[in-house]
Chains A and B, each alone.
Chain A
Amino acid sequence: MADDAAQVRAARAGDRAAFGELYQRYSRMVHGLLLARVPPADADDLTQEVFFQAWRELRKLRDDSAFGGWLAQIARNRARDHFRRARPQDELPASLAAPGGVSQEQEARAALAAIRELPEAYRESLLLRLVEGMTGPEIAARTGLTADSVRVNLHRGMKLLRQRLEGGTP
């Protein structure tokens, strides 16, 4: 994106405000990609760490207009590292019910868990749409995926998710 390229150039030269604008533009994307892989409690801190890493390594980015795809890859790698290091105690099971019925929070946790069991491509696109509130065209523009891929991911992912939430076995 031409707009990104100008901000990236400025940020590389040390302009923190320009990097702040990139953060505004991409923080939800990074958070969504992390949420697809790590517990919600860790996703916020990791989002900040991804941007710190991008800030430090900006000079390694060869194509300024490919900032979104580059950042997405940093986020995926970061989540992978985190997963390797994390102890397996971070999340409560989604099915844990409170006395007196299922609370909204538990329902949200169950929905999140169901999404995270979907194939990676569907998982990312659905989280960016349903959690971060990005539209399909925005997801494509930010992540560097083609609009066609995102469209397929959203529609097929949503179909699978419905089946799983209804208790089906796709």
Chain B
Amino acid sequence: MSEEVGRYLWEGWGAPDPEVARLQQLLGRYRYDAPLRPLPARAPSRLPRLVLAFALASATLLACVALLASLRFRWQPGAAWAVEAVSGAPQLDGKLLRESGRLGVGQELVTDADSRARIRVARIGVVEVEPNSRLRLLATTSNHHRIALERGKILARTWAPPFTFAVDTPSAQAYDVGCAYTLEVDEHSNGLLLVTSGWVELEGEEWETMVPQGAAAESRPGVGPGSSYYQDSSPAFQSALREINFGPGSGPAHQAALKTLLQQARKRDLITLLNLMLRLPPEERGQVYDRAAQLSPPPPQVTRDAVVRGEHMALEPWWQSLHLGNVKRWWIYWKDALVL
């Protein structure tokens, strides 16, 4: 199927696939177009007074917290970030950085084999820049700060609401979900992310993966991020995962890799299996589900049918049962704020 024809099936525009167009014309007679009939009567629900009082108190408390947070996270759009040289002679916008300076939007920071630098990310965090790195500040406002890491390695530690801080790399974007992590881009533009606290979301054009504390994820140009995994998983497991994530997606090598991955998976590797499940076609989702269920039975509300169907929220209770920390409760990683 050509890309144009595939696009027609997916988005409904581009060169029409004659078979798809014929079926649409043929099956259009079944399309639903009826108005909603009069709705039956329904008594509106009434909240008890106690619930209303509790809601009011909660809202007041939330408003106070929001006010305090807005003071901490407020940042003038485009204001430059403080940078200091930790060792050697980093270059800031093409000039030698002696002790400290300011990194403005569009400016570049470069370290050579002997130099390191430290950047203050507005008021929300710190980025340590390791040797042989090149990065650029792309944007900075109160609720969004973004840099591009072209090559090298950074150690980032932030404490802010999810998706406030982002790092673009040639193969994926890393979105901070209240966390600490290292991110590395090699000479082939491949990425490697290791999360030491909280969660990070790695996003590509087609795929995204959530990486919890203690786990890693790789990314490749043209493909995006692979599924996350623990670094103490077996080499055979990691190699199979690489084939599944970055290989052609079908054929004997893919099948062999899936078999190895499922054989080698331990209970601790459930994060990889859950991460992988919805990336695979339905007929393979079932195999991964069965192995995952064997390693750790899912909560009763997780059904095989919903997973095989690919429902977005189908795996959510299973993720929760792993007790890896709640992505939405970013403030629980408050210890990260102490070192800022």
Contacts and interface: CB of A to CB of B under 8 A. Distances in A.
Interface in A111-138: 111-112, 119-122, 124, 129-133, 135-137
Contacts of B20: 130, 158
A146 B26 contact: no
Contact of B9 (A20, A48, A155): A155
Interface residues of A, number: 59
B32 A47 contact: yes
Contacts of A107: 26
B281 to A, nearest CB: 5
Contacts of A43: 30, 32
B36 A20 contact: yes
Interface in A22-79: 23, 27-28, 31-32, 35, 40, 43-44, 47-48, 51-52, 55-56, 59, 66, 69
Contacts of A28: 31-32
Given A31-B32, A52-B39, A144-B311, A151 B26 contact: no
Contacts of A129: 9
A112 B281 CA distance: 23
A66 B313 contact: yes
Given A13-B44, A52-B40, A130 B11 contact: no
B45 A59 contact: yes
Contact of B310 (A19, A47, A132, A150): A150
A145 B311 contact: yes
B326 to A, nearest CB: 15
Contacts of A133: 12, 24, 28, 31
Q: Which of B11, B32, B283, B305 has the most CB of A within 10 A?
A: B32
B323 interface: no
B32 A148 contact: no
A130 B40 CA distance: 32
State the main secondary structure of chain A at its contact with B: helix
Contacts of A23: 36
B37 A48 contact: yes
B278 interface: yes
B29 interface: yes
A148 B281 CA distance: 9
Given A119-B282, A121-B310, A136-B11, A112 B27 contact: yes
Interface string A148-164: 11111111101001100
Nearest to A58: B42
B162 to A, nearest CB: 16
Contact of A111 (B23, B206, B281, B283): B23
B278 A149 contact: yes
Interface in B29-63: 29-32, 34, 36-37, 39-40, 42, 44-45
A130 B23 contact: yes
B285 to A, nearest CB: 9
A96 interface: no
Contacts of B44: 13-14
B165 to A, nearest CB: 23
Nearest to A139: B10
A161 B24 CA distance: 13
A156 B281 contact: yes
A168 to B, nearest CB: 14
A130 B311 contact: no
Contacts of B23: 111, 130, 161
15 contacts: A16-B39, A19-B36, A48-B37, A66-B313, A108-B29, A111-B26, A112-B30, A119-B283, A132-B32, A137-B11, A144-B312, A144-B313, A145-B310, A151-B10, A153-B282
Interface of A: 12-14, 16, 19-20, 23, 27-28, 31-32, 35, 40, 43-44, 47-48, 51-52, 55-56, 59, 66, 69, 104-105, 107-108, 111-112, 119-122, 124, 129-133, 135-137, 143-146, 148-156, 158, 161-162
Given A105-B29, A145-B311, 7 more contacts: A52-B40, A69-B311, A112-B30, A120-B308, A131-B27, A131-B31, A158-B20
